[in-house]
Structure formats: C-alpha cells, structure tokens
Amino acid sequence: MIDMASIAAKRMTEIRLLQRRDWPATWAIIEPVFRAGETYAFPPDISEEETYEIWVEKPTATFVAVSGNGEVLGTYYIKPNQPGPGSHVCNCGYIVAERARGRGIASGMCEHSQREAAARGFRAMQYNLVVATNESAVRLWQHHGFETVGTLAGAFRHPREGFVDAFLMYKQLAT
Amino acid sequence: MIDMASIAAKRMTEIRLLQRRDWPATWAIIEPVFRAGETYAFPPDISEEETYEIWVEKPTATFVAVSGNGEVLGTYYIKPNQPGPGSHVCNCGYIVAERARGRGIASGMCEHSQREAAARGFRAMQYNLVVATNESAVRLWQHHGFETVGTLAGAFRHPREGFVDAFLMYKQLAT
C-alpha cells in the first residue's frame, strides 16, 4: 500500500544544516528523548548547554529536518567515530519529534546522512549502541543496509527494563 | 614450560596509580606507540598535552606498571565507555614499553584492570577498536576471556597495510 501521507511529508520536508536560530526548536525535540533515557547513552539530567556541545559543537555537522511551514521535525549529527586512523568511519545520531514519527523522517535523515558522509569522505558509518528494546530503530537501520555486527550484552541500563543488550551496527559506504 | 623470567618479572612488577612524577617516563613509552599509528586510533602527531588529557585527565583512573627498581614498564587507563545509561561498561587502553614486552606485563595489567573495574562497579569491559593486524593483542584479550563480538570492516587505516579490519571485544565482569 502506498502511504500517501508519508510521501507528502517526505516531499515537504527539507533537510538542511542547523543554524543557530534552529536551536530552541531542536532542543525541544531532543530534550524529552534524552530525559526519557531509553535510547541514548547520555545522562537523563544532561543540561541544554551540554547537549548543544555534544549535538552541535563537537560534531562535524548537524542537520535539521524542517517541514514546509518551517517547523523542526527532526535532527541528526555526523562526526568521526574515532580520531586519527579511525576517523574515516563516521557516527551519526538521529532524533525525530514525537509528533512527527511514522512519516519517514528518520529514513529521510538516514539516507541524507549517508550521502553527506560519502561526500565528506567517510568510508563507513557506525552506530555504537543501538538499544535492543528500540526495535523500530533496529529495523529501520537494517532496512537501510546496516548490519548488526555485534551484540553488547547488558550494555544499556534501561529505566524500566534494567540492563538490556545493545547492538553495534555498521555499514560500509559506496566511495 | 614454566617461564621463570616471566614469573620473576610479574613478581617484581608493581601496578599502582600513576602519579604526576611518573608522567615523563609514561609519555616516553606511549609516544613511540602513538607515533607509529599501528594500534591506537589517535592522530600520530598527537601532542604530549593532548595525550595527557586523554590518558590521564579524562579517564577515571590511570595506572603504571613499575619494575622493582622504579622503572615504568607499562600503563593503562580505565574509564566509562559511554556516559549515562552506558556508563557501567568500561573501556581500558594498555601500553607496554617496547623493551619490556613478552614479560607478562600486559597480562598483569589486564587482570589488574578487571579487578579495578569490578571494584569500581563496572559490569563489563569493552575494547572498541582492536586492530586486526595487532594479533598478539587479539590473542591476549581472548586468553583473558574477551569475546570478539564484532568485526568492523576496514575501520582502521594502518600506515603500511592500508584499511584493515578492527574487532570489538567485550567481557562481562563478575559482579
């Protein structure tokens, strides 16, 4: 079945570099995800300033997915996963606004990030800690060609589930 | 065959917290390893100041293996591999002075680090990027109970071998 709403959302959504003025809206979609502590290995009580540092200042580039009417619906960063002789492998983190889920925005950002990564000379993309309970993310990354290269037993402390496994996912990029 | 020299070296070698006055001797054994660029994902031209930051300041603790006559023969650090909900998994890095290799010092530091990790409440230890060409390290970690949970294809740029694989190795600790 063709999901017309999803196609329309993708058409109307633009992915572009984050600008300083996008930050308040971007923080508004990141904050509840970090506070929940279910998917990212950041302290749930992380401050807005620390988040800006890890999401915007330290990465190579940070993007926002913006709707036709200028609303920030998603964001992702791209950065080298390791320095020096490991710096040709990148790492990305993605967040979609809760109200905008199921509209293909994460897929759109994943595809965009792979093109950006290749254009910037990265040869592979690595997700270090995909929480096993985050099944929709695992499926999505698999769909986009990421391989689960390893399982880290009990590597994530979930606020309700306790110690759960995390996956290391990896994809070599066309160069 | 019992390796008496190795046993003697282990007996005479003390592993203790690095103190500020140990740094020059510690840097002297780290520098050639980082400059060679064959085993660690740090820029080969890293400065002494940057190395002090990543090896001593940022980690939870840094240790030195010291011979009976006070010579620094090896060093390792221990730190959380991820923040927040991933901070119960630690990461360590180990370096043995070239002149002191084959004497069981890396093994001694690996065992010491697992005890330290457990005592500090870590539940697992993760090596993020064990370069596949570093075969003695791979064997050593396997010997100490680390599992190769995944292979990162071409994740390390070796100065002579080009892009080589790296292993992610992991061990759950007795708690």
**Residue B174, pLDDT score:** 82
Of A84-88, B10-14, B101-105, B145-149, which gets the smallest average pLDDT?
B10-14
Show the DSSP H helices in chain A as ranges. Answer: 4-12, 23-36, 48-52, 105-119, 135-143
- State whether residue A58 sits within 8 Å of chain B by CB: no
Task: Write down the pLDDT at residue A159.
Answer: 97
Q: What is the pLDDT of residues A17-76, one digit of tens each?
A: 999 999 999 999 999 999 999 999 999 999 999 999 999 999 999 999 999 989 999 999
Cα B81 to Cα B89: distance, rounded to the nearest angstrom? 6
Contacts of A138 (CB under 8 A, 6+ apart): A130, A132, A148, A167, A169
Determine contact: A86 vs chain B, CB below 8 A.
Answer: yes
Record: contact B44-A86, CB cut-off 8 A: no
**Amino acid B126: pLDDT:** 98
CB of B51 within 8 Å of a chain A CB? The answer is: no
| Average pLDDT, integer, range A69-88 | 97
Contact B85 A158 (CB under 8 A): yes
ipTM: 0.89
Is the CB of A33 inside 8 Å of chain B's CB atoms?
no
Whether the predicted pLDDT of A124 surpasses 80: yes
Q: Which residue among A82, A88, A166 places its CB closest to the CB of B129?
A: A82
Overall average pLDDT of the B24-33 stretch:
98
Q: What is the pLDDT of residues B86-143, one digit of tens each?
A: 999 999 999 999 999 999 999 999 999 999 999 999 999 999 999 999 999 999 999 9
Residue of B nearest to A54 (CA): B83
Count of A-B CB contacts under 8 Å: 109
**Per residue in B160-172, pLDDT tens?**
999 999 999 999 9
Measured CA to CA, the distance from residue B123 to residue B94 in angstroms comes to 19
Q: Record the tokens describing residue B54, joined without a space.
A: 């990543």
Q: Mean pLDDT throughout B61-69? A: 96
| pLDDT tens, residue by residue, A29-39 | 999 999 999 99
Mean pLDDT of chain B: 94
Query: In this predicted structure, what is the pLDDT of residue B87?
Result: 98
Judging contacts by C-beta atoms under 8 Å, the chain B residues touching residue A88 are 157, 163
Which pLDDT score is estimated for A3?
61
| Residue A174 confidence (pLDDT) | 82
Which chain A residue has the Cα nearest residue B146? A152
| Confidence at residue B175, expressed as pLDDT on a 0 to 100 scale | 72
CB atoms inside a 10 Å sphere around CB B141: 23
Residue by residue, DSSP assigns A17-51 as E--GGGHHHHHHHHHHHHHHTSS-SS-TT--HHHH
Flag whether residue A102 sits within 8 Å of chain B, measured between CB atoms: no
Say whether A82 and B150 touch across the interface (CB within 8 A). no
